[in-house]
Amino acid sequence: MKRFRSMTYPYVVWIGIMIVIPMLLIMLYAFTVDGNDVSSFQFSFENFRRFVTDTVFMEVLGRSLYIAVITTVICVLLGYPVAYLIAQLPSQSNMLMILLITMPTWINMLVRTYAWMGILQDNGVLNTILGFFGIGPAHMLHTSFAVILGMVYNFIPFMILQIHTSLDKMDKNLLNAAADLGASKVQTFLRVTLPLSLPGVISGITLVFLPAVSSFFIPKLLGGGQYVLVGNIIETQFLTAGDWNFGSAISLIMALIIMFSMWLTNKVDVQPATSGKE
């Protein structure tokens, strides 16, 4: 058994060099002010004070979390049934569906987002289609709708894949057993399938929520420049304003918030599993 443990050592060294050291450099920036010069080290909370005391930044933070939560909820609500239905299919078409869902993600994300821009334009493809039914033209580009749509489109495959994996691996005899013991379909789903697939849902949430909360490209293209999320502010600090210290501080704040929400999610994850054993 112990022999397996040593398989971890190379990776521990690797993350020390490739993750920890670079992150320490970022922290160094967050707790210092004035320019990109590391030599004149002056410990300071100034960057954090600036962020917390400014209502605009707090509003943006709130908006980012809101959009990310909405996106994640939609991804779960839409992704779960799809993953469930796919898992019901015979293995051949099951595999095919999974490949069909993965395939679009291999087309560059920027290219796909540009495609949505063309589709959502006021005189774009979608409005033309709506026009046939006498609806519209609806103004869709540069709205919250477009941003959430873009995020759901880009991130939902991760949700479906994760949920599908846990459903697919589930022992199908459990369902028969439940049925034999007189459980209705709904009962079987709620008390057997759902709890067993929760780990997949949780890792799906992780894979959707995180990129959604920090995304800056999708809001920039589909929401227009007026659609500012935290990711955009961080990007601006590093690339336009050149204030790496402030940018690093915002990143740290965001990382803390995310860690907290993940900790919450994991707590939720544990509960149904224990209550299932009652």
- Chain Cα centroid distance, residue 40: 38
From the CB of 100, what's the least distance to another protein, in Å?
Answer: 6
Residue 232-251 contact track with another protein, rule CB under 8 A, x = bound: xxxxx-xxxxxxx--xx--x
39 lines the binding site for another protein (CB under 8 A): no
Q: Is the peptide bond before 137 cis (omega within 30 degrees of 0)?
A: yes
With respect to another protein, which residue has the nearer C-beta, 10 or 134?
A: 10
The length of the chain is 278
The Cα angle at residue 154 between residues 153 and 158, in degrees rounded to 5: 105
Residues in the interface with another protein (CB under 8 A) total: 109
The distance of closest approach from Cβ of residue 53 to another protein in the complex, given in angstroms and rounded to an integer, is 13
Please state the separation of Cα 68 from the chain's center in Å.
7
In the complex, minimum distance from the CB of residue 56 to another protein, in angstroms, rounded to a whole number = 5
Classify residue 197 by burial, with Cβ atoms within 10 Å: 0-12, 13-18, 19+.
buried
Mask for 5-34, x = binds another protein (CB under 8 A): xxxx-xxx-xx--xxxxxx-xx--------
- State the minimum distance, in angstroms, from the CB of residue 82 to another protein: 5
- Residues numbered 165 to 184 that lie near another protein (CB under 8 A) are 165-166, 168-169
* Close Cβ partners of 241 (under 8 Å, ≥ 6 residues apart): 247
Min dist CB 227 to another protein, Å, is 8
| Residue 2 binds another protein, judged by CB under 8 A | yes
Q: Among 26, 28, 50, which residue's Cα sits nearest to residue 41?
A: 28
* The one segment of 40-48, 172-180, 187-195, 254-262 that binds another protein by CB under 8 A: 254-262
CB of 14 to another protein, least distance (A): 8
Cβ partners under 8 Å of residue 262, min gap 6: 206
Contact call for residues 201 and 163 (beta carbons, < 8 A)? yes
End-to-end CA distance of the chain: 32
Q: Does 46 bind another protein (CB under 8 A)?
A: no
Number of neighbouring beta carbons within 10 Å of residue 223: 22
Cα–Cα distance between 127 and 161 in angstroms, integer? 31
CB of 271 to another protein, least distance (A): 16
- Binding residues for another protein restricted to 51-110, rule: CB under 8 A: 54, 56-57, 59-60, 81-82, 85-86, 88-89, 92, 95-97, 99-110
- Nearest approach, Cβ of 79 to another protein (angstroms)? 9
Which is closer to another protein, CB of 178 or CB of 227? 227
Q: Which residue number, 60 or 151, has a Cβ lying nearer to another protein? A: 60
Q: Which of 222, 251, 269 is nearest to 115 (CA)?
A: 222
Give, as ranges, the residues between 129 and 168 that touch another protein (CB under 8 A): 142, 153, 157-158, 161-162, 165-166, 168
Name the 3-class secondary structure at 237: helix
Q: Does 207 bind another protein (CB under 8 A)?
A: yes
d(CA 121, CA 101): 25
